[in-house]
Amino acid sequence: MSKLALSERILMNIEKPARYIGNEVNIVKKDLSDIDIRFAVCFPDVYEIGMSYLGIQILYDFFNRREDTYCERVYSPWPDLDEIMRKENIRLFSLETQTPINEFDWLGITIQYEMCYTNILQVIELSGIPIWAKDRKKGDTIVIGGGPCTVNPEPLAEFFDMFYIGEGEISYDELLDLYKEYKSSDMSREDFLHKAAKIPGIYVPSLYDVSYNHDGTIYEIKPLYKDVPAKIKWQAVMDFDKVPYPMKPVVPYIRATQDRVTLEIMRGCIRGCRFCQAGMIYRPTRQKDVKMLKKYAKEMLDNTGYEEISLSSLSSSDYESLDELLQFLIELRDTDHVNVSLPSLRIDAFSLDVMSKVQDIKKSSLTFAAEAGTQRLRDVINKGITEENILQGSRDAFIGGWDKVKLYFMMGLPTETDEDLLGIAELAEKISEEYFDAVPKEKRNGRVMINASSSYFVPKPFTPFQWAPMISPEEYKRRAYFVKDSFAKQKNKKSLKFTYHDAEITVLEGILARGDRRIGKVIYDVYKKGAIYDAWTEFFSMERYDEAFTENNIDIDFYISRERDIDEVFPWEHIDVGVSRSFLTKEWLNAKNGIVTPNCRERCSGCGAAIYKGGVCFEAKNKV
């Protein structure tokens, strides 16, 4: 193993030193003398969070399959180590070889959520790489971003050399081959970026100009050169069974947030919830072959020693071979004592039957993502679940032995009224009544508990709600108090509990999600004021952001409080995710009128994802 980048003195004085020493089970080791390209892949959050993210494991495996490339991992140092590294001028380093990141050819940063943006600057600066892309020269590390937040990369545009728009298994080989040519020739950095911009899915922000109207909205986003594409197309894996998958995922020495084997069964979602960005950008829905998944499951469990396996998808209930796969996993549980985790299930008779088979004798809570308190509002958001579904699912669960239910809602959804808010408390009450009606007194195991929680709705790019305003933090708190008071007035109030999420962090998420390049300076200034780990409430300070917005003459209400005009040019107008603007516009109007759109297997709605020529769009029963 390489010499550790941190001395024993430092390791003994920081929290969880195992975050930084590497050498975990299943890490890839290569002879550096045989390597042309060194790629550091980064999740800009603490090690335990980053190690739980499947995308990093997929990219790590994908890059390391190339003989000429060595991919290593790096995560954000926790604040205690961050302080030491700055004081002692220690460069951020990779886990595998403990090499400073600025000695790598590439730094690839996965951008999974908006609240990690200051951590991205932390990683770049601690690595010894110039923070602003314009300050980097030939020989400096190329900084590339990927992940779901790249559908609107503009707030981060000036910190990145390029972004990969889409799923990483498609265009990276072509990009790395071009880099080898650049590295071994006199090609300038600018020429390399220009050539890279012609590769499908590669967005080079420095090659695009943004102009604004007098009212602050965007007038136009256009490339500086005729041979650079006006729109960057999202790259989607269509031959889903042939792309590589990590059979030997790295196993951490300390407990990660998701400490288990993760089996990706499907990408995309057929449901079309109008608030859900992932459900739009990962279209069309694509399934993995069940025989392959069985092989993967057994092999990954053998290679890791894990005793739990989780199915990964946006809606596991919609995987058409779920019953066959689960029967196989149940047999594994019985023979190899493997626990099975089933997130993203719709609560129906089939799902409850499945859960009763795979869960321990002690029933844990069931989760309903009802999202809204009334059927009217559930139709507005196209949730595709009725109150009858929720009540019947709860009743079946109570009869089956469950006595705890979690309910998830959003407040601030378009067209929401106090009647919809009251519906949250009334739905919780109705579910509790189902328990008392369905379970005889002598069979009750203590009191039924209905735990409802609500988050603050954030409109996201490439959803039908991208035009919608956010409610103010004050209005969010008013609605939260209204719902809390409504819970206290219910007959079974002792069995009901309501909590709500922080408002300030969500306001910032809303600004970053739909922001433009002018927000980049705010992120930089806030970072320089000491902001990192903004996703963690104990480190977050809205005061720092308020100062930076004021200093940069940024009107917060411009980004969150106004409804966008239907023909407004968005900061992400030059990104093409397949789903068409005309479809999103129609869905926005359908939402306002409470019109429900069927799911993709019931009827094709012409969203535009058929351009990928595969997935659910071309299932025999769904051809149009």
State the pLDDT at residue 360.
52
| Percent of the chain predicted with pLDDT > 70 | 97
| Distance of alpha carbon 271 from alpha carbon 109, whole angstroms | 30
- Once rounded to an integer, what is the mean pLDDT over residues 93-102? 98
Write down the CATH superfamily of domain 8-233: Cobalamin-binding domain (3.40.50.280)
Query: Could you give the C-alpha distances from 214 to 154, 218, 219, 220, 335, in angstroms and in order?
Result: 20, 9, 9, 13, 68
Region 259-268: what's the mean pLDDT? Answer: 94
**What's the average model confidence in pLDDT over 477-488?**
98
Instruction: Give the length of the chain.
Output: 624
How far is Cα of residue 580 from the mean position of the Cα atoms in its chain?
A: 21
pLDDT of residue 336: 81
pTM above 0.85, yes or no: yes
pLDDT at 2: 72
* pLDDT at residue 363, as a whole number: 58
What is the C-alpha to C-alpha distance for residues 380 and 596, in angstroms, rounded to an integer? 7
Answer whether residue 155 shows pLDDT above 90: yes
Q: What is the mean pLDDT of residues 201-230?
A: 98
One DSSP character per residue, 395-433 reads HHHHHTT--EEEEEEEES-TT--HHHHHHHHHHHHHHHH
3-state secondary structure of 462: coil
The token pair that represents 196 in the structure block? 């890279």
Whether 312 and 249 have beta carbons less than 8 Å apart is answered as no
Q: How confident is the model at residue 364 (pLDDT cuts 50, 70, 90)?
A: low
- In tens, the pLDDT along 283-341 reads 999 999 999 999 999 999 999 999 899 999 999 889 999 989 988 988 887 888 888 88
pLDDT at residue 362 tops 50: no
pLDDT tier, 345 (very low <50, low <70, confident <90, very high otherwise): confident
31 — pLDDT class (breaks 50, 70, 90): very high
Q: Nearest Cα to 110, choosing from 69, 65, 67, 51?
A: 51
Q: Residue 367 phi/psi, 5° resolution? A: -120, 125
d(CA 418, CA 542): 28
- Is 260-360+594-624 in the same CATH topology as 8-233? no
Q: Which of 332-346, 383-397, 486-500 has the lowest mean pLDDT?
A: 332-346
- Average pLDDT for the chain: 94
Local confidence band at 365 (pLDDT 50, 70, 90 cut-offs): confident
> Is the domain 260-360+594-624 a CATH 3.30.450.40 member?
no
State the Cα–Cα distance between residues 395 and 248, nearest whole angstrom. 41
Containing H/E element for 311? strand 308-312
Is residue 87 pLDDT above 80, yes or no? yes
Q: Specify the long-range contacts of residues 323-328, CB closer than 8 Å, at least 24 apart.
A: 323/350, 323/354, 324/290, 325/265, 325/290, 325/293, 325/294, 326/354, 326/357, 326/358, 328/294, 328/297
**What residues contact residue 147 under an 8 Å CB cut-off, 6+ apart?**
55, 110, 111, 112
Model confidence band, residue 622 (pLDDT cutoffs 50, 70, 90): very low
- The pLDDT, as a whole number, for residue 574 is 98
CA distance 484 to 345: 28
pLDDT, mean of residues 596-618: 96
Mean pLDDT across 574-587? 98
Kindly state the average pLDDT of the residues 97-112.
98
Residue with tokens 């990962």: 282
Question: pLDDT-derived band of residue 358, with 50, 70 and 90 as boundaries?
Answer: low
Assigned token pair, 285: 């829905």
CB burial string 97-128: b at 16+ within 10 A, e below: bbbbbbebbbbbbbbbebbbbbbbbbbbebbb
Are 291 and 265 a contacting pair, CB within 8 Å?
Answer: no
Q: Which long-range contacts (CB under 8 A, 24 or more apart) does 210-217 make?
A: 210/154, 210/516, 210/517, 210/571, 216/555, 216/558, 217/568, 217/569
| Least-confidence region, from 177-191, 396-410, 595-609 | 396-410
Residue 441, judged by CB atoms within 10 A of its CB (0-12, 13-18, 19+), counts as: exposed
3-class state of residue 15 by DSSP = coil
Q: What is the pLDDT of residue 349?
A: 65
CA of residue 516 relative to chain centroid, distance:
20
Q: Report the pLDDT value the prediction gives residue 42, as an integer from 0 to 100.
A: 98
CB count within 10 Å of CB 230 equals 12
For residue 275, pLDDT beyond 70? yes
Q: Does domain 363-517 have CATH number 3.60.15.10?
A: no
Give me the pLDDT at residue 262, please: 95
Which residues lie below 8 Å from residue 313, measured CB to CB, with a gap of 6+?
A: 264, 265, 266, 267, 269, 319, 344
Residue pair 74/143 in contact (Cβ under 8 Å)? The answer is no
Q: How large is the average pLDDT for residues 464-493?
A: 97
**Domain spans, the chain:** 8-233, 260-360+594-624, 363-517, 519-553
With a pLDDT cut of 90, the percent of the chain lying above it is 87
- The DSSP bridge pattern shows strands 261-264 and 266-267 to be unpaired
Q: Write the CA distances from 148 to 55, 248, 528, integer angstroms.
A: 11, 25, 26
Contact at 8 Å (CB) between 77 and 42? no
Residues 267/574/506/56 CA torsion (nearest 10 deg): 40
Instruction: Report residue 623's pLDDT band, with 50, 70 and 90 as the boundaries.
Output: very low
Q: Is 147 left (phi over 0), alpha (psi -120 to 50) or beta?
A: left
Q: What is the mean pLDDT of residues 13-31?
A: 97
pLDDT of 408 > 90? The answer is: yes
